[in-house]
Amino acid sequence: MFPAVSLVLLCALAVVANPITVNNSPISIPIVKRLNLTGESTIAALDRARVRSMRSGTFARPTGAKAAASVFNFPVINEVFGYIATVGVGTPPTDYSLIIDTGSSNTWVGASQAFQETNSSVDTGQTVSVFYGSGFFLGEQFTDTVTIGSLVIPNQGIGVAIISEGFSGADGILGIGPVDLTEETLFPNDTTTVPTVTDNAFSQGLISAHEVGISFEPTSTTDPFTNGELTFGGIDSRKFTGPITFVPITTTSPASEFVGINQSITYGTAGASILNSTAGVIDTGTTLLLIATDAMDRYVDAVGASSEPDEATGLFTIPAENFANLESLFFNIGGTSFEFTPNAQIWPRVFNTLLGGNNDTIYLVTGDIGSDTGSGLDFINGMVWLQRFYFVYDTGSSQAGFATTYFTDTTTN
Ligand SMILES: *[C@@H]1O[C@H](CO)[C@@H](O)[C@H](O)[C@H]1NC(C)=O
Ligand SMILES: *[C@@H]1O[C@H](CO)[C@@H](O)[C@H](O)[C@H]1NC(C)=O
Ligand SMILES: *[C@@H]1O[C@H](CO)[C@@H](O)[C@H](O)[C@H]1NC(C)=O
Ligand SMILES: *[C@@H]1O[C@H](CO)[C@@H](O)[C@H](O)[C@H]1NC(C)=O
Ligand SMILES: *[C@@H]1O[C@H](CO)[C@@H](O)[C@H](O)[C@H]1NC(C)=O
Ligand SMILES: *[C@@H]1O[C@H](CO)[C@@H](O)[C@H](O)[C@H]1NC(C)=O
């Protein structure tokens, strides 16, 4: 047993000192939240498919000819519940609506709107493919000038889809995760990585800090709604309230390959343990808050939720009388406790029909990740969590930062 003082010291060491923060970077772009669930799958099933890909490292495999042969029996899933940024490609730029994804790192276009080649478009002769679990694309790798707000990035590697599935309503993905996730996505140069827009903007001297700040906000409107913001090379101090807590990217694999961190979760004022400190991922491309199966069991017991997910939506439900007594979840990250209110733990009821559910049921935003604690990827803090906290991915220093916002305690029901 460690004396208490050692634990305090360990916690202090875990917090990296002096992260670079650049306030009010001029490069902030609005992002739109969109929900468009079509086809047979539920959000919970899509999220779990994505987790399976993350675990098996199949994001980047198979490539080239192998990929071409296997795509035709890939399960077809249509989903867009994402935060979408308008990104220009080419000279002059054509605008594409891209899903912002910190859980993958290839940027590509062509899923809905066809790619418009211009005189700055260069075909590299490589093929490119990424399998996300909940979708995939296969195409040709180009370099081109990419325009994000006032940021104009020449020679950015971008994929141009020939085939894709799972992205109706979006043109592709703006992948801003760790660059190593692009390994083995090109063919035949499968050891070549593709620097992300953040990496190129920084190495070309267009931004002074190698980081991106992400602001999502909860809403109770189901229409596409501009309520998020993506900031390159800094953070936007108008978008958060408290100090930013930075923690290093976790060393535990496979969470370490993504924007992975260590965190623990407790429930209620009594501090009931739901998840002891363990590794997981912060991901703008996952919808739900996913936690290990044993942790989900404890949460379900603690709050009095349904013991099984609802069949139509794949989501756990909570009776109204238990919702009335629901307490906060507390996320401990780097020694800071982030309170996730009862209201944050349920879907705004206006979404119920879109999710495939009915109006009288209360659906929880937390789901089962599909394996017990100890897998090296024991949680994913997805969009429903990120709507309550500001998120900084300090790519250059391999750390992630979190802060409370004006929406942390907001009521959306
Ligand atoms: C590409 O075309 C645009 C106008 O359409 C022009 O302004 C630009 O200079 C051209 N770039 C190159 C590299 O030729
Ligand atoms: C939603 O998906 C359907 C089917 O793929 C598509 O036709 C429609 O344009 C999408 N709507 C939006 C708002 O993206
Ligand atoms: C692929 O590899 C070859 C040989 O190393 C190199 O000349 C070429 O630039 C590479 N292409 C890409 C797109 O990285
Ligand atoms: C995260 O947790 C793992 C397992 O307990 C530990 O080895 C590691 O030092 C912790 N911190 C980081 C930054 O990975
Ligand atoms: C967390 O760890 C403590 C100490 O090892 C243990 O007593 C407790 O049961 C664990 N809780 C959970 C939820 O795993
Ligand atoms: C359920 O709620 C939605 C959104 O509030 C509404 O449009 C719809 O008419 C409701 N359906 C029923 C059966 O009450």
Q: Is the pLDDT of residue 16 over 60?
A: no
Q: In which element (H, E) is residue 159 found?
A: strand 151-165
State if residue 353 touches ligand 6 by the CB under 6 angstroms criterion. yes
Supply the DSSP string of 191-258, one letter for each residue.
Answer: T-----HHHHHHHTTSSSSS-EEEE----S--S-EEEEEEEETSB-GGG--SPPEEEEPPSSTTGGGS
Model confidence pLDDT, tens digit, residues 104-139: 999 999 999 999 999 999 999 999 999 887 788 999
Pair (186, 254) in one structural domain: no
Residue 411 resides in a domain: no
Residues 191 and 259 occupy one common structural domain: no
Q: Are residues 222 and 85 in the same domain?
A: yes
Burial class (CB in 10 A: 0-12, 13-18, 19+), 261: buried
State whether 336 and 243 are in the same domain.
yes
Residue 9 lies in a domain: no
Q: What pLDDT is stored for residue 84 in this prediction? A: 86
36 forms beta bridges with: 80
Residue-level pLDDT at 116: 97
79 and 103 housed in the same domain:
yes
Residues 296 and 361 in one domain: yes
Q: Are 250 and 212 members of one domain?
A: no
The response to whether residue 125 sits with its C-beta less than 6 Å from ligand 1 reads: no
Using an 8 Å Cβ cutoff, are 335 and 246 in contact?
no
Residue 149 and residue 37 in one domain: yes
DSSP letter for 59, please.
Answer: G
CA 280 to ligand 4 center in whole angstroms? 11
pLDDT at 65 > cutoff 50: no
- Residue 408 alpha carbon to ligand 6 centre in Å: 27
- Please give the radius of gyration of the chain, using alpha carbons only, rounded to the nearest integer: 20
Positions marked catalytic: 101, 283
| Measured CA distances, 145 to 105, 117, 179, 349 (Å) | 17, 11, 19, 42
Which ligand is the nearest neighbour of the Cα of 351?
6
Could you say which ligand is closest to the alpha carbon of residue 2?
5
What's the rounded mean pLDDT across residues 62-75? 36
CATH for 257:
2.40.70.10
Query: Where among 232, 264, 295 does a domain terminate?
Result: 232
Cα of 292 vs centre of ligand 5, distance in Å, is 14
Confirm whether 62 is domain-assigned.
yes
Q: Which of 10, 246, 250, 253 to mutate to test the pocket of ligand 4 (most atoms within 8 A of CB)?
A: 250
Residue nearest to atom 12 of ligand 2 (CA): 169
For residue 24, what pLDDT is reported?
54
Residue 73 pLDDT > 50: no
Whether 3 is in a domain gets the answer no
Expressed in angstroms and rounded, the spacing between residue 311 Cα and the centre of ligand 6 is 20
Among protein residues, the one with the nearest Cα to ligand 3's atom 6 is: 189
User: How many Å apart are CA 213 and CA 236, to the nearest integer?
Assistant: 7
Look up the domain containing 330 and give its range. Answer: 238-404
- The answer, yes or no, to whether residue 64 has pLDDT greater than 90, is no
Same-domain status, 163 and 212: yes
Which residues line ligand 5 at a C-beta cut-off of 6 Å?
A: 273, 276, 298
Looking at residues 32-40, what average pLDDT do you find? Answer: 64
Q: What is the pLDDT of residue 50?
A: 83
User: Ligand 3 pocket: which residues have CB below 6 Å?
Assistant: 124, 126, 189, 192
Q: Is residue 413 part of a domain?
A: no
Q: Whose CA is nearest to atom 4 of ligand 3?
A: 189
Judge if 174 and 291 occupy the same domain.
no
93 preceded by cis ω (within 30°)? no
Residue 367 lies in a domain: yes
Query: Whose CA is closest to atom 7 on ligand 3?
Result: 189
Mean pLDDT of the chain: 86
**Residue 330 belongs to some domain of the structure:** yes
What's the 95 CA to ligand 1 centre distance in angstroms? Answer: 17
Say what the pLDDT of residue 75 is: 36
DSSP single-letter state for residue 114: P
pLDDT tens digit string along 261-285?
A: 999 999 999 999 999 999 999 999 8
With b for 16 or more beta-carbon neighbours within 10 A and e for fewer, the 171-182 pattern comes to bbbbbbbbbebb
Looking at the CA of residue 256, tell me the nearest atom of ligand 4.
Answer: 14
pLDDT digits (tens, 9 = 90+) for 210-247: 999 999 988 877 777 777 889 999 898 889 998 999 99
Count of structural domains, the chain = 2
- Those residues whose C-beta lies under 8 Å from the C-beta of residue 205, and which sit 6 or more positions away, are none
Closest CA to 219 of 308, 343, 321: 343
- Answer yes or no: do 211 and 70 share one domain: yes
- Regarding whether 261 and 187 lie in a shared domain, the answer is no
* pTM for the whole structure: 0.88
Nearest-angstrom CA–CA distance, 153 and 394: 19
